[in-house]
């Protein structure tokens, strides 16, 4: 095991009771359970960053597609506009 660093934390009584019960149920120390919780929290935070970055990339691509008219063949008219003009207008 890597060198450990001692930290002192303050938790409320309900958290202390839950921590003690959960650690006992798992058969591990409260410190081990806290370390597992920290690892899980950090892993989740990294995943959230990756998801946020992926969403921002997709959002920028959607905005670029809209600006450049992707998927419409460059058309800027709607089906409704085409029907209003009798269907024969070329845009």
The reported pTM is: 0.61
CB 33 within 8 A of CB 26: yes
pLDDT of residue 21: 98
pLDDT digits 0-9 by tens, 25-55: 999 999 999 999 999 999 999 999 999 999 9
Domain hosting residue 37, numbered range: 13-84
Tokens representing 78 are: 């709607």
Q: How many domains does the chain have?
A: 1
Q: Domain for residue 7, yes or no?
A: no
Q: Domain for residue 70, yes or no?
A: yes
Tokens representing 3 are: 């060198």
Residues 64 and 58: their CA atoms lie apart, in Å, by 10
Q: Domain for residue 72, yes or no?
A: yes
Q: Domain for residue 43, yes or no?
A: yes
Residues 36 and 89: their CA atoms lie apart, in Å, by 66
Q: Domain for residue 79, yes or no?
A: yes
Q: What's the half-sphere exposure (Cβ side, CA atoms, 13 Å) at 25?
A: 6
Q: Domain for residue 46, yes or no?
A: yes
């Amino acid at each position: 095991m890597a060198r450990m660093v001692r930290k002192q934390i303050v938790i409320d009584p309900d958290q202390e009771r839950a921590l003690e019960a959960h650690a006992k149920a798992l058969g591990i120390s409260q410190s081990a359970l806290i370390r597992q919780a920290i690892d899980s929290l950090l892993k989740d935070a990294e995943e959230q960053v990756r998801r946020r970055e992926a969403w921002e990339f997709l959002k920028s691509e959607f905005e670029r597609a809209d600006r450049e008219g992707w998927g419409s063949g460059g058309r800027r008219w709607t089906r409704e506009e085409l029907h209003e003009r009798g269907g024969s207008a070329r845009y």
